[in-house]
Amino acid sequence: MATRFPADAPALDLPNLGVHALWAGWFGVLLRAWDAAPVPTRAALLLAGVALQFWSYAALHNHMHVPLARSRPLRFVLHRTLGLACGFPYRGYHLHHLNHHRFDNGEGDWGRLRPGEAALHYCARWALTPWLWPWVALGKVWGAARGRAQRLELLLDFAVVDGTVVALLVWRPALGAGYLAGLVVTQGCIHYLNLAAHHGTDARERTQLANTSRSRFYNRWFFNAGLHQAHHLRPQLPWRALEALTRELEREGRLPVHLTTGLSPLHPAWAARVVRGYDARACKPPADSRTTPAPPSGAT
């Protein structure tokens, strides 16, 4: 993904780049203001960072599928900075995401829930894995890397992300600890989005790969991220074209009503249904199942 630049794509995806610029501005302010800022201001800066890092994931996700810039040098820089914004070494996360689209959250997907795993446990596990026990995930992406160039990129990206965190911890321990904590919280929220997008879906059925959110707010500000069924059917389609594809699927009866909702994944009602639907006591799919545990009635 993100290897070929579509001929009809804009040279710069300004909406996504605008979000990334907000993160970059915040990061600069954080570094410059930290020493003089009182504790409440520091806390407010870190909380604002979590929101901007979470928002930046929408830009990172789009960049993995359709680059945000035509210029190769600029794309190289964006790989690094978008990864840093979310705490994901870019090439490693790109390979992990490619695996996700290969298996659509079914058997073989590295990021799938374990049998009987609860939603909160899943989010905490994946938020902590890159920082505390990355070896299994690292082995998988290292094995999936194609050739020397991608493996060098992997090493570079780990140096950028982990090196930045370590440098902050050494330079200003409180700042480094706060920044790392913000990344962990952000990544837990990002992994929740995966659960919400595939709650009640079936990787064996092409019409049931993902949920579709018709929330105007979410799709406007997160670049049609709610139109996830269309995205999984055509991952390389630019985000601007997902609405038209979703309408086409709806007309053709290929957009199941039970996997379509007007809610945003950010809505507390959807979050509560996701947590209940993945209750560890109720969701124990067989080991060979490619079906995500079904939601309660009306849960999507």
- Strand residues in the chain grouped as ranges (E): 212-213, 260-261
Q: 213 in a domain, yes or no?
A: yes
Per-residue tens of pLDDT for the chain, all 300 residues: 445 677 778 999 999 999 999 999 999 999 999 999 999 999 999 999 999 999 999 999 999 999 999 999 999 999 999 999 999 999 999 999 999 999 999 999 999 999 999 999 999 999 999 999 999 999 999 999 999 999 999 999 999 999 999 999 999 999 999 999 999 999 999 999 999 999 999 999 999 999 999 999 999 999 999 999 999 999 999 999 999 999 999 999 999 999 999 999 999 999 999 999 987 544 444 343 344 544 333 332
- Cα–Cα distance measured from residue 113 to residue 165, given in angstroms and rounded to the nearest whole number: 28
In the chain, the number of structural domains is 1
Q: Which residues of 172-187 are buried (b: 16+ CB within 10 A; e: fewer)?
A: eeebbebbbebbbbbb
Q: What is the DSSP string of 51-94?
A: HHHHHHHHHHHHHHHS-SBS-HHHHHHHHHHHHHHHT--HHHHH
Q: 286 in a domain, yes or no?
A: no
Q: 117 in a domain, yes or no?
A: yes
Q: What is the pLDDT of residue 280?
A: 53
Distance of CA 104 to the CA centre of its chain: 14
The alpha carbons of the chain give a radius of gyration, in whole angstroms, of 19
Strand partners of residue 213: 261
Q: Which residues have CB under 8 Å from 48's CB, separation 6+? A: 26
Q: 22 in a domain, yes or no?
A: yes
Q: 265 in a domain, yes or no?
A: yes
Q: What is the pLDDT of residue 6?
A: 78
Q: 273 in a domain, yes or no?
A: yes
Amino acid, single-letter form, for residue 159? A
User: Could you tell me the two tokens for 201?
Assistant: 């879906």
Q: What is the pLDDT of residue 5?
A: 75
Q: 283 in a domain, yes or no?
A: no
User: Domain containing 105: what range?
Assistant: 14-277
CA distance readout (Å), 250 to 59, 196, 212, 243, 300 = 26, 20, 11, 11, 16
Q: 8 in a domain, yes or no?
A: no
